[in-house]
Amino acid sequence: MELRRYIARRMIQVIIIFFVILTVLFLLFRWAPGDPVSMMVDPDMTQEDAEILIVQLGLDQPIGVQYFIYIKNFFTGHFGFSFHYGEPVVDIIWNRLPNTILLFTTSIILSAFVGVFLGKIASWHKGKKTDSLMTIGALVTHTLFLPWLALILIWVFGYKFGWFPINGMISEEVWLDPEAGFIARAIDVMYHMVLPLFTLFLIHFGAYLLIMRSSMLETLKEDYILTARAKGLEEKVIRDHHAAPNAALPVVTSVGLSLAFSINGGALTETVFTWPGIGRELVSSVSQNDYPLALACFLMIAGVVLVSNLVVDVLYAYLDPRIRY
């Protein structure tokens, strides 16, 4: 009963926070410097044309009225039309979201697996060359400037060797070929994913490696590891079956949060590789003062983060009955 009350209370908090975020974002976009209409007109258009556009975009109303219209539409699942695309923003987001999830979820999972695996090895060889190499390597790759790394990889593997496409998500030749089936198209997407995925992997795996390494070092000091050794278990069994699963918990938490954040994509990665995802759209909508699209993108990110936090809190509360905030 107490748990239900707790969940209900947390849900109300989440809803309130969400609406606070919505309001702040709405006002920020309206008050921030920049005029969406001035970006859309050229010398062929008159000031009257600009006024007509303002009315069509709904910007002629006072901010309070615009806000209430937005809230009213929000409850009907209508987030407005993009100023530039002229399409419902929900359609644009649904079109781009799967691309972002595909790239970033894959990169997080791949980085986490490799990071955990290498972190385990590094901790097992603590103080030796393997450990030093891995730790330094992880630190170096994790701190690389992403656009620089991406451009270098594009130049080397995309241009010089010509092994991979320079940008994009699909080859028009494959997708325009009526005979190309699902497998050919899937392979084509994978082929285009190689470079952005490798870039993201290089940037991210180091963090998981370092978390795993330090967590593993702590775990190896635990009594049950000593007990396992005392029982005469093989070192590999102790490492892989006793220490690693427990040491990986912080990595799992980190991966969970990263997955939630992955829907926001990576503006830099998506821009450099022209990956048609949410990150690129977010940057473009903000720079062009496309309020409805930018607002919807930010709200989606806020919503996912709030819900993931709620789920984590509820799970903690469920697993540990002492936890009640």
Partner 1 sequence: MPCINAKQRRSSCRWVLILACATMLITGSLFIASTASAANILKMGLLQEPKTLNVWRASDRWSRKVVGLMYQPLYVRDPETLKLIPWLAAEPPQFDEKTLCYTVKIRPAKWSDGTELTSEDVAFTARFINEFKVPRYRSKWNFVKKIETPDKHTVKFYLKEPKAIFVSRSLTTPIVQKKEWTKLAEEARKTKKPLKRLLNEKIKRPVSSGPFVLKEWRQGTFLYLQKNKYFFGTGKKIQGRLLGPYIDGVIFKIYGTSDASILSLKKGSIDMFWWGIQPGYIEDLRANPDIELFQNEKSALYYMGFNVRKAPFKDVNLRRAVATLVDEDFIIKRILQGYGIRMYSIVPPGNAFWYCPDVPRYGEGLDREARIKKAFGILRDAGYTWEVPPVDESGKVVNGEGIKLPDGKPMEKFTILTPPADYDPHRAMCGMMMQEWLRMLGVPAYSKPMAFGALLQQVKVRHDFDSFILGYGSLSLDPDYLRNFFISTNDKKRGWNMSGYNNPHFDKIANESASAMNRDKRRSLIWEMQKIIIRDVPYIPLYDPKLIEAVRKGRFTGWVQMLGGVGNLWSFCQLKPM
Q: Taking contact as CB under 8 A, which single stretch among the options 1-9, 21-29, 38-46, 208-216 is the one that binds partner 1?
A: 38-46
Structure tokens that stand for 48 in this block: 């009257």
**Nearest residue (CB) to partner 1, 68 versus 155:** 155
Structure tokens that stand for 84 in this block: 């530039």
Please state the closest distance from residue 111 (CB atom) to partner 1, in A: 15
d(C-alpha 151, C-alpha 200), whole Å:
13
For position 169 contacting partner 1 by CB under 8 A, the verdict is yes
Residues numbered 244 to 263 that lie near partner 1 (CB under 8 A) are none
For position 60 contacting partner 1 by CB under 8 A, the verdict is no
| C-alpha distance from residue 178 to each of 118, 126, 161, 170, 173 (Å) | 44, 56, 29, 15, 10
Label residue 263 exposed, middle or buried (CB < 10 Å: 0-12, 13-18, 19+). buried
Residues numbered 274 to 293 that lie near partner 1 (CB under 8 A) are 274, 276-277, 280, 284, 287-289
Structure tokens that stand for 201 in this block: 């992997």
Q: Taking contact as CB under 8 A, which single stretch among the options 33-41, 138-146, 206-214, 241-249 is the one that binds partner 1?
A: 33-41
Q: Are 141 and 203 in contact (CB under 8 A)?
A: yes
Instruction: Using CB under 8 A, pick the residue from 85, 214, 225, 323 that binds partner 1.
Output: 85
d(C-alpha 239, C-alpha 204), whole Å:
24
For position 213 contacting partner 1 by CB under 8 A, the verdict is no
For position 95 contacting partner 1 by CB under 8 A, the verdict is yes
Length of the chain: 325
Name which of 116, 149, 144 is nearest 254 in CA terms.
116
**Nearest residue (CB) to partner 1, 106 versus 167:** 167
Number of residues that bind partner 1 (CB under 8 A): 75
Instruction: Using CB under 8 A, pick the residue from 22, 29, 37, 112 that binds partner 1.
Output: 37
